[in-house]
Amino acid sequence: MDASMPHDPAPSRRADAERNRDRILAAARAAFAAGDGDVSMAQIARRAGVGQATLYRNFAGRRELLEALYMSEIEAVCAAAAEMSHGEGAGAALEAWLRRFYSYFTDKLPIATELLANSDADDPMFSSGYAQVVAAGRPLLAAALESGDVRSDLTLEQILDMVVAVAKIPGTPDYRAPILQTTLRALLRSTDS
Amino acid sequence: MDASMPHDPAPSRRADAERNRDRILAAARAAFAAGDGDVSMAQIARRAGVGQATLYRNFAGRRELLEALYMSEIEAVCAAAAEMSHGEGAGAALEAWLRRFYSYFTDKLPIATELLANSDADDPMFSSGYAQVVAAGRPLLAAALESGDVRSDLTLEQILDMVVAVAKIPGTPDYRAPILQTTLRALLRSTDS
């Protein structure tokens, strides 16, 4: 009970619960991005500043937490596609979104690896996540094709696979950056120099 | 003893032995390229048309055979680089060699996977093989840079990693081919269209 909330405490409690959930997800995301994958539930609770009881009330276990993280990343990439489409040009919008997808993939790699260790590669969650990303990117590619900013010899699936392949190259982000640049340049006519 | 060989049988025996060895390597290469990796020594002997005694006289075991295969592939890629350099243009020569490297990598993948299962990723054989490939490709890239056929923003190591990344993309060869095409186009100025 919170005495400072005079009317209807329920929405505020829901807001609190949502804040906790978001805080846990943010902490877990940061822990996995920084760490070597070997992140414990206790560490995540500490990082989020919540008790373990709160952590487990939100996520029954490590796997549930990883799944929620994965889904939230997918949603963020899809949301980015919708925002990009109001950009400065269809080719630039596609490129910006592919870079967003690339960094999502780079950040997500430890999460997906962990998740794969805890579930099945054939889990429909993965194919459904991928299908959502493809559906979100489709209008961006269509617009870039229509404006002539982009070459038509690759499908969106091939483009995404190409970006993922670069993201998986071992080495530092600085080592990979010019490889991504080269790859995207080939795709987009407008950035040819 | 071979009565049809009147003088000095030693060179001929050596030639026979070499022929057997080459035949075994060719059979093993074909078996691994075609198969699902699960190739037995007995199958390789059958395919090569030699007895198992001959097989084991040449290669003490599966691992020795895989190593020999790996090294022979590396040598072939390096030899190809030397031949390419007399080509029709520095950029075209580099591209042709990168395509050769790509197909080597695609064919070699099951062998390397098998070999990794039988040895250590830190085995100096791998780094030495890679160093040989880089050394062989270096003059091709230098010539292409000098002629202005190629952009200077990637090192040879980055270029090779990019090609390997495309080779590792799951799917059919037809699915990957345009991705490789796009990637190489970005590298080479001359093939821009």
**Tens of pLDDT, residues B172-186:** 889 999 999 999 988
What is the distance between the alpha carbons of residues B190 and B187, in angstroms, rounded to a whole number?
A: 9
pTM (2 decimals)?
0.80
Closest C-alpha among A32, A60, A70, A64 to residue A48 = A32
Q: Which residue has the higher pLDDT, A175 or A128?
A: A175
**What are A65's two structure tokens?**
């937490």
pLDDT(A183) > 70 = yes
pLDDT(A104) > 90 = no
Please indicate if any CB of chain A lies within 8 Å of the CB of B109.
no
What is the distance between the alpha carbons of residues A73 and A104, in angstroms, rounded to a whole number?
A: 7
Q: How confident is the model at residue B192 (pLDDT cuts 50, 70, 90)?
A: very low
Distance from CA of A68 to the nearest CA of B (A): 26
**Tens of pLDDT, residues B44-67:** 999 999 999 999 999 998 888 988
pLDDT(A154) > 90 = yes
Distance from CA of B44 to the nearest CA of A (A): 33
Kindly determine whether residue B166 and residue A169, on different chains, have CB atoms separated by under 8 Å: no
Q: What pLDDT is recorded for position B143?
A: 92
Least CB–CB distance from A187: residue in B166, B169, B182: B182
User: Radius of gyration over alpha carbons of chain A, in Å?
Assistant: 20
Q: What pLDDT is recorded for position B66?
A: 87
Query: With left for phi above 0 and alpha for psi between -120 and 50, is residue B89 left, alpha or beta?
Result: left
**Tens of pLDDT, residues B2-15:** 455 455 556 677 78
What is the distance between the alpha carbons of residues A23 and A29, in angstroms, rounded to a whole number?
A: 10
Q: Among A98, A141, A161, which would you mutate to test the B interface (most chain B Cβ atoms within 10 Å of its Cβ)?
A: A161
**pLDDT, mean of residues A68-95:** 86
Please indicate if any CB of chain A lies within 8 Å of the CB of B177.
no
Least confident of A26-30, B4-8, B17-21, B181-185: B4-8
- Which residues lie across from B150 on neighbouring strands? B188
**What are B82's two structure tokens?**
């030397």
Q: Could you report the predicted ipTM of this complex, rounded to two decimals?
A: 0.78
> Which value, to the nearest 10 degrees, does the dihedral of the CA atoms of residues A46, A48, A54, A57 take?
-110
Please indicate if any CB of chain B lies within 8 Å of the CB of A165.
yes
What is the distance between the alpha carbons of residues B84 and B131, in angstroms, rounded to a whole number?
A: 19
Q: Which residue of A has its CA nearest to B168?
A: A165
Q: Among A105, A155, A179, which would you mutate to test the B interface (most chain B Cβ atoms within 10 Å of its Cβ)?
A: A179
Cα A154 to Cα A48, A103, A179, B112, distances in angstroms: 42, 21, 18, 29
Q: What pLDDT is recorded for position A193?
A: 41
Instruction: Please report the DSSP string for A49-89 in residue order.
Output: T--HHHHHHH-SSHHHHHHHHHHHHHHHHHHHHHHHTTSS-
**Tens of pLDDT, residues B68-118:** 988 888 899 999 998 886 667 899 999 999 999 998 877 766 677 777 776
pLDDT(A37) > 70 = no
Kindly determine whether residue A158 and residue B179, on different chains, have CB atoms separated by under 8 Å: yes
Q: How confident is the model at residue B39 (pLDDT cuts 50, 70, 90)?
A: confident
Q: What pLDDT is recorded for position B191?
A: 45
pLDDT(A78) > 90 = yes
Q: What pLDDT is recorded for position A31?
A: 85
